Structure 1
């Protein structure tokens, strides 16, 4: 009765061969990931709107930040608190905003290296960790002031503790597993989906469930308060999402198929690696994208950590080749991915560029100009530049973001917005690019209608993901209000 268990335990046990201990599987991927993260870190001095939200929230006084999290973005609350501490220690702009993600990516790559070593030896560990560091998505979120790199690091190391717990009778591994995963679920609650991947691994290996079940229950209990709070904020938080597109489905299926192919090549197949890596790659994104048919919550970055599974499968594949071919294969892959690596370091790799918007507004505006955001959530484009924003009269604003405990503030009723607009000679409108869907809300409709009927366009500057349009009031013979001038001051 014990023989099958010993056979399954053997790949999970510490290496018994007379191999000398080496730090290379952890150190090499970590150093590579750090170097790649620091390369072009400021992205040509650009910042997109999600990063701007991080920057704004983290710079709020602690009391205001906690009040914000009671209304929205609780799912990112622990990350915002971390970034608040970072900026309190060093307010280093874009570098300070992104450096935690660089370090977290290095930690995640090191964890993939440790997993590969534990599963199939040091060479697999080095190659798997290097692959993870080279993935374009890994590089992208290593240079982003959001939580996804930290979540990846936490999930990868929780998976390492899970693996160690399977091959040991010590309870400490499971305690560590539960604690690490509980913390990372508070950084972003969709990390909890890795529990389902680990459950599939246990099923495939035929391993006992009890200790894992206790740890998993502890994680679920720990994250339950966050789930309750964020569920009440979900419509505000994720209301912008639609159902998964065909392109999203094809991307998910393509990556899953690649992982399945690597796990099924007879010469490369490894049962234990497959049982761990394939569920990690497919189960969390599979659950999220399928669940989004009912409730649209799918964004691939929410389960970025799933790429660790692909890196492990790829590392095993390269390690099974002759040594020189494995190194050549890794180098060729790095060269093949170079265009993508260069691309994710450009402003155009994100949806917009807040810095470019602010720079353009600075050039076009003069004191006393009105500013209008179409839609209102684009107020985030100027919130990271309070001195610039203060120069302008926000014509639709009722309560500021800080006063309303929101990210973009609250707006006036439509009639008040129209009145403010009609009393302003010159307006800068910050809008989405042409062709984007128009919000149907009454406030947004009155902004567009009033500009169309009572203003004329002077200048339009098209930026990546945004437009800044200068409008001036048309002369009204029946009113004392004078028309505006297109000339700047």
Structure 2
């Protein structure tokens, strides 16, 4: 590009009048090519800000549910105790527990603090998604993919979950980005880094490794274009190496699978379609995103588009098929790793349209997602893991139940948990978690604590009479709308409590009944 004689040309080819001085002196805008301008022009910036706003909003507000309480129970143990626990249960969550353990040791386990890593993981996943979209389909598709991903209700919801799912999404999005970089400029170091990223995904969630089938499609597309055999060799070596890396989790996870996921039902043909609203948070949103993705199929060359289609649908079908075997893995939260490629597909579709359509269509996605966003930020939303499908149990409001105990507490009070049928609900973790530090009544009828057992749950005292003590008052917390306090505990505990205590107060909150028992004169 040439300029008129005597007319300076700024970086990037923009003319300025002689004598006006450097562009930075005007004070009106950063110079072209400056770090600020590059940042403002990055395809990932605005999607990342949207994701941060939606995940950080009311981060500590929703009540912890029993899955999150299991996390809290484990991460507050010592490193040695966590490792011992993993040999008995939750080996598949071990990497998450250990990483969160060190985080909690630094910042504490308040709802905001303990959920913050998940929020940041979803922001990082947004960045990776936008960058991959740019690399595969261009700038407009990159920012569109990032914004669509950031607006998904389940991104915000599980960006506020004290479980590993946000880190699974982040690591799977990162693995895809590293694969694209390795295909751009293959080399041993890039393939090693990709191998490590795939291994990281496996340590957070073994089911997500089915994404390798979709990655293989992208490798084949690039091989067809370049005929470079080193792409096939590099990817195959990386996939095998990653599986070797995660073998310890594969081994322990297989041994624990019956206990971990034995409750997950086998999928039906009907379930092929019905799981998608749970993955995205809204049936209407799924239909809109499908419509917006259709123009991507008209893009040329189509290889990358078809590869991304495979990344979305092949792992889904693999998980559905494998789940008809001895164990079922067909649960929406195990499939959230499909969110980044799904957003990429929609971004490719939006990017192929004229620029004037991008803003209104993105706003349409936000509008359709808004009802689910509202619901997923609600106080008891975290228990609704099948949203928008109805839940089979009433969400437990541990915070409100703890508030009842804290308001009426007196020194010398004891605590009993009505776990006649199951300790799965984690009341013995949830109530103390929400109680003030100076209001921690001792729990009766505990034989061996969960920490001592290297497990998630404690055992009952074999001789309830010997474990009763002489507390003048007891708080009995039972799951459900329970009418008879003594019927909510095992028979041998009831036989000890009935002769010595009478019910003075009964109050209910969502999913929990709180009784105040007073010792008889």
TM-score of the superposed pair, with normalisation by structure 2: 0.75
Give the drift of 1:155. Answer: 0.7
Unaligned runs of 5+ residues in structure 1 are 1-19, 436-442, 474-481, 485-489
Encode CA deviations 1:226-261: one digit per residue, 9 max, x unaligned.
111122222332244333478854333677985776
Size of the aligned set, in residue pairs, is 446
Unaligned runs of 5+ residues in structure 2 are 1-32, 281-285, 384-395, 483-487
In structure 1, which of residues 439, 453, 463 is the aligned counterpart of residue 509 of structure 2? Answer: 463
Encode CA deviations 1:299-352: one digit per residue, 9 max, x unaligned.
211221201121111112222222121111101221222222122111221223
Task: Give 1:354's aligned residue.
Answer: 398
Structure 2 residue 314 is the aligned partner of structure 1 residue 283: yes
- Specify the SS of the correspondent of 1:376: coil
Cα distance in 1, alignment partners of residues 296 and 117 from structure 2: 40
- Specify the SS of the correspondent of 1:228: helix
Cα distance in 1, alignment partners of residues 323 and 474 from structure 2: 40
From the superposition, tell whether residues 355 and 273 of structure 1 become closer, same or farther in structure 2 (CA, over 3 Å). Answer: farther
Of 253-262 and 136-145, more deviation after overlay is shown by: 253-262
Does the 8 Å CA contact 2:413/2:475 hold for their aligned counterparts? Answer: no
Cα distance in 2, alignment partners of residues 243 and 188 from structure 1: 19
Cα distance in 1, alignment partners of residues 475 and 264 from structure 2: 28
- After TM superposition, list the pairs within 5 Å mapping 1:288-307 onto structure 2: 288-294=319-325, 295-307=327-339
Of 101-110 and 318-327, more deviation after overlay is shown by: 318-327
TM-score of the superposed pair, with normalisation by structure 1: 0.80
From the superposition, tell whether residues 263 and 90 of structure 1 become closer, same or farther in structure 2 (CA, over 3 Å). Answer: closer
- Specify the SS of the correspondent of 1:24: coil
Does the 8 Å CA contact 2:296/2:349 hold for their aligned counterparts? Answer: no
In structure 2, which of residues 336, 340, 353 is the aligned counterpart of residue 321 of structure 1? Answer: 353
Between Structure 1 and Structure 2, the one with more helix by share is 1
Cα distance in 1, alignment partners of residues 259 and 439 from structure 2: 24
Structure 2 residue 236 is the aligned partner of structure 1 residue 213: yes
Structure 2 residue 439 is the aligned partner of structure 1 residue 408: no
Does the 8 Å CA contact 2:114/2:162 hold for their aligned counterparts? Answer: yes
Does the 8 Å CA contact 2:415/2:443 hold for their aligned counterparts? Answer: yes
- Specify the SS of the correspondent of 1:347: coil
- Specify the SS of the correspondent of 1:350: helix
- Specify the SS of the correspondent of 1:462: strand
Task: Give 1:187's aligned residue.
Answer: 204
Of 192-201 and 70-79, more deviation after overlay is shown by: 192-201
Encode CA deviations 1:121-178: one digit per residue, 9 max, x unaligned.
0110001001000000001011122211111111111111212333434333322210
Give the drift of 1:188. Answer: 2.5
Cα distance in 2, alignment partners of residues 127 and 31 from structure 1: 14
Task: Give 2:303's aligned residue.
Answer: 272
Task: Give 2:58's aligned residue.
Answer: 40
Task: Give 1:9's aligned residue.
Answer: none
Structure with bigger gyration radius: 2
Encode CA deviations 1:156-206: one digit per residue, 9 max, x unaligned.
111112123334343333222101111232123223221122234445666
Structure 2 residue 28 is the aligned partner of structure 1 residue 28: no
Cα distance in 2, alignment partners of residues 389 and 196 from structure 1: 52
From the superposition, tell whether residues 169 and 65 of structure 1 become closer, same or farther in structure 2 (CA, over 3 Å). Answer: closer
Of 447-456 and 160-169, more deviation after overlay is shown by: 447-456
Task: Give 2:253's aligned residue.
Answer: 230
In structure 2, which of residues 324, 343, 349 is the aligned counterpart of residue 311 of structure 1? Answer: 343
Does the 8 Å CA contact 1:460/1:467 hold for their aligned counterparts? Answer: no
- After TM superposition, list the pairs within 5 Å mapping 1:59-138 onto structure 2: 59-91=76-108, 93-138=110-155
Task: Give 2:4's aligned residue.
Answer: none
Cα distance in 1, alignment partners of residues 516 and 272 from structure 2: 42
Does the 8 Å CA contact 2:115/2:160 hold for their aligned counterparts? Answer: yes
Cα distance in 2, alignment partners of residues 249 and 419 from structure 1: 53
Does the 8 Å CA contact 1:273/1:312 hold for their aligned counterparts? Answer: no
Cα distance in 2, alignment partners of residues 383 and 63 from structure 1: 23
Cα distance in 1, alignment partners of residues 82 and 261 from structure 2: 20
Cα distance in 2, alignment partners of residues 118 and 251 from structure 1: 32
- After TM superposition, list the pairs within 5 Å mapping 1:418-429 onto structure 2: 428-429=475-476
Cα distance in 1, alignment partners of residues 118 and 180 from structure 2: 25
Does the 8 Å CA contact 1:457/1:471 hold for their aligned counterparts? Answer: yes
From the superposition, tell whether residues 253 and 348 of structure 1 become closer, same or farther in structure 2 (CA, over 3 Å). Answer: closer
- Specify the SS of the correspondent of 1:143: coil
From the superposition, tell whether residues 364 and 283 of structure 1 become closer, same or farther in structure 2 (CA, over 3 Å). Answer: farther
Cα distance in 2, alignment partners of residues 268 and 418 from structure 1: 75
Of 377-386 and 287-296, more deviation after overlay is shown by: 377-386
Encode CA deviations 1:427-457: one digit per residue, 9 max, x unaligned.
544333359xxxxxxx976379869998876
Give the drift of 1:220. Answer: 0.3
